[in-house]
Amino acid sequence: MFRHLWRMTTGQRAALTVAMLLMTASAGFGIAQPIAMKAVIDALSGGRLVIALIIGLVVLLLLQALVGAWGSFLLERTGERFLLRLRTTLFDHLLRLTIPAFGRFRVGDLLSRASTDVILVREAVTRAVVEITANVIMTVAAFTIMFLIDPVLMCVVLGVLVLGAVVITVTASRIGRVSLRLQSAVGTMTADLERVLGAIRTVRISRAEHRETRHLQALAQEAYLAGVQSARLTSAVGPIIETIVNGAFVLVLFVGALRISRHELALGSLVAILLYANQLVLPIAQLVEGITTVYKVKGAAERTREILCLPIEESATSPSARPAAPAAGQPEPAVLDVRGLHFGYTATTPVLRDLTFTVPQHSLVALVGASGAGKSTTFALINRFYQPWQGTIRLGGEAPADLDLPSWRERVSWVEQDCPILHGTLRDNLRYAAPDADENALWHAVDLVRLREKIESLPAGLDSPVGERGACLSSGERQRLAIARALLTRPHLLLLDEPTAHLDPITEAALTGTLDDLRGECSLLVIAHRISTIRSADQIMVLDNGTIRATGTYGELIDADPEFTRLANAAHHAHGARASVGDPV
């Protein structure tokens, strides 16, 4: 389980080793102190001078403090570096996950794993592991010296500690199971809170505040119960350690006093053994804390490992030779050529069946069909979010093997139907896909979607904030902003999913004219139902049950294909109904 995380300590292992050596050295200076104290007592008993011994004891105390502080700082710094690397690795991995991989987890749960769980993992991989190692060394050394001083008393201490270790091991195992339940509960709670906040307007209009509050409270209660159980088990560890150490101390004192009375043990030796028994309190406590942390982190490490094991998109392939330019007189290859495409989200339910079509250079092609016909799935495959079961997709004559993903997506731009707007300013959103776009390019894109008047009316202009998910904009403004953002990339192929869905008739007419003009710069593939967009298309493809059933212009299809006629009439009536809302009676 920790193998994946251990690999991430590459570059930090030397620092971890140095920190462990420093902490071990600090422990060594601590181990030497009871021996020095024994020497002082023996010297006093023999009437010898003890000044040099006392100075040596003070030096040991100072060295232990200084070396321990240095090792602790180095360990903490290394831990922060490890945490930085783990976070950046997770962020990079999350942003490159395949689209199907995102369907396996809720967004809030992924946020919990990438923010909360990694902190626990950091504790296990750095502090817990190093402290366990250093304290094991110190404990073994202390028992070795106690054995050399008096094997009988060493066995007394060891017997008590072994009994306590069994109890602590059982407790730590239960802590691990409870901690996994706690982390899962927190992840679920975070995911549901993200769901509610992301749809806060729907929650309000549905009068669901109290219902959602009760649901979140129930999740918080579940996390609370798991946390209380974890706290109950964790809080028991301290008293167990105290009982063990105090029991060992009392037994050593009793047995030691008995052996002194029989002249089998010197007073200095008893003092040294007692000091070692007392000195073992901290390392044993840290050792138990480290073991408990490892068990607590077991769930967090597994949750982190799950993310790192998810498949990611291939950011680059080995491009084959680019196709030669067409010979003089030969037509340019279609900007998009789809042949024999088969695909489904589950193995038993195909969505696309032998889908074949082309989008010529500098053309506007409309894709229409009933809901569930496969229009959005077609766009997802063009964007290479999924791999088709069978068939090929060529972009400008080049197959996916000819272009890596960044190069492919540099040539394709997509405006989604819900038009996601990112937190920030209008300028931030416009430049999101084209960070090097200059001021003239920004305003040109704004003019194309008729947003100049709106933006110039704002006090901060392009630097005006859009709010969370574009809350400061109307739905039509969000859609136009998303289209302008896509246009700034100057793609070879522009995919538009219902580009006029949220526009008023005047803006719709202006944008439709803009789309017609854009044919001189790129090709457009549009999912559309409104008559205005369909009428202006060079070619209309009717998608039915995952395959193209008819192709032609509006005039050719309106009388020739019953399905298209039905869709066109339905769109016409729906659009007319929307346009009539608010008309004077």
Q: Convert the pLDDT of each residue in 103-143 to its tens digit.
A: 788 777 787 788 778 877 887 777 666 767 777 877 888 88
Lowest mean pLDDT among 2-6, 36-40, 124-128, 536-540: 2-6
The token pair at 163 is 């009994």
Whether the predicted pLDDT of 464 surpasses 80: yes
Higher pLDDT, 101 or 285: 101
Give the span between the Cα atoms of 480 and 264, in whole angstroms: 94
Minimum mean pLDDT among 184-193, 277-286, 297-306, 554-563: which range?
277-286
- pLDDT surpasses 60 at 578: no
pLDDT higher for 281 or 482? 482
Say what the pTM is: 0.69
| pLDDT of amino acid 580 | 38
- Chain centroid to Cα 231, Å, comes to 27
Whether the pLDDT of residue 393 is over 90: the answer is: yes
| Cα–Cα distance for residue pair 344/388, rounded to 1 Å | 8
Give how far the C-alpha of residue 510 lies from the chain's centroid of Cα atoms, to the nearest Å: 41
pLDDT, position 239: 78
Q: What is the pLDDT at residue 130?
A: 72
Q: What does the pLDDT read at residue 354?
A: 92
| Bridge partners for 551 per DSSP | 541
Task: Write down the pLDDT at residue 316.
Answer: 46
pLDDT tens for 235-284 read 777 777 777 777 777 888 888 888 888 888 888 788 888 877 777 766 77
The structural domains of the chain, ordered by start, are 3-308 (1.20.1560.10), 336-580 (3.40.50.300)
pLDDT at res. 379? 92
Query: Is the distance from CB of 552 to CB of 365 less than 8 angstroms?
Result: no
pLDDT band at 502 (very low <50, low <70, confident <90, very high): low
The pLDDT score that the predictor gives to residue 584 is 30
Measured CA to CA, the distance from residue 75 to residue 83 in angstroms comes to 12
Q: What is the largest CA-CA distance in the chain?
A: 121
What is the model's pLDDT at position 303?
79
> Of 546, 568, 549, 571, which is closest to residue 559 (Cα–Cα)?
568
- Nearest Cα to 193, choosing from 218, 159, 229, 224? 218
- Per-residue burial over 376-415, b = 16 or more CB atoms within 10 Å of its CB, e = otherwise: bbbbbbbbbebebeebebbbbbbebebbbbeebbebbbbb
Lowest mean pLDDT among 443-447, 474-478, 489-493: 474-478
CA atoms within 13 Å, Cβ hemisphere of 541: 22
Question: For residue 320, is pLDDT > 50?
Answer: no
SS3 per residue for 75-89: HHHHHHHHHHHHHHH
Residue 169 sits at φ, ψ, to 5 deg, of -60, -45
* CA distance to 198, 317, 474, per residue, from 577 (Å): 30, 50, 21
Cβ neighbours for 470, distance < 8 A, ≥ 6 positions apart: 419, 421, 477, 478, 481
Neighbours of 481 (CB within 10 A): 24
Q: What average pLDDT is seen over the chain?
A: 79
- Cβ contacts of 499 within 8 Å, gap of 6 or more: 415, 479, 483, 511, 515, 526, 528, 533
Whether residue 100 has pLDDT greater than 70: yes
Mean pLDDT of 87-109: 82
How far is the C-alpha of 78 from the C-alpha of 275, rounded, in Å?
Answer: 33
98: left (phi over 0), alpha (psi -120 to 50) or beta: beta
What strands, in cross-sheet order, belong to the sheet with 352-359?
A: 352-359, 336-343, 390-395
Crossing angle of helices 13-45 and 51-95, rounded to 10°: 160
Percent with pLDDT over 90 in the chain:
8
Residue 471 has pLDDT above 90, yes or no: no
373 has a pLDDT exceeding 50: yes
Q: Which of 81-85, 303-307, 427-431 shows the highest mean pLDDT?
A: 427-431
Average confidence (pLDDT) over 512-530: 80
- Please give the single-letter amino acid code of residue 372: G
pLDDT digits (tens, 9 = 90+) for 11-25: 777 888 888 888 888
Model confidence at 582: pLDDT above 50: no
The predicted model gives 100-104 an average pLDDT of 81
Q: Which position has the higher pLDDT, 479 or 161?
A: 479
Q: Tell whether the model's pLDDT for residue 1 goes beyond 60.
A: no
Over the stretch 351-369, which tens digit does the pLDDT of each residue have?
999 999 999 988 899 998 8
Structure tokens at 103: 């369907």
Residue in the structure block whose two tokens are 């023999």: 46
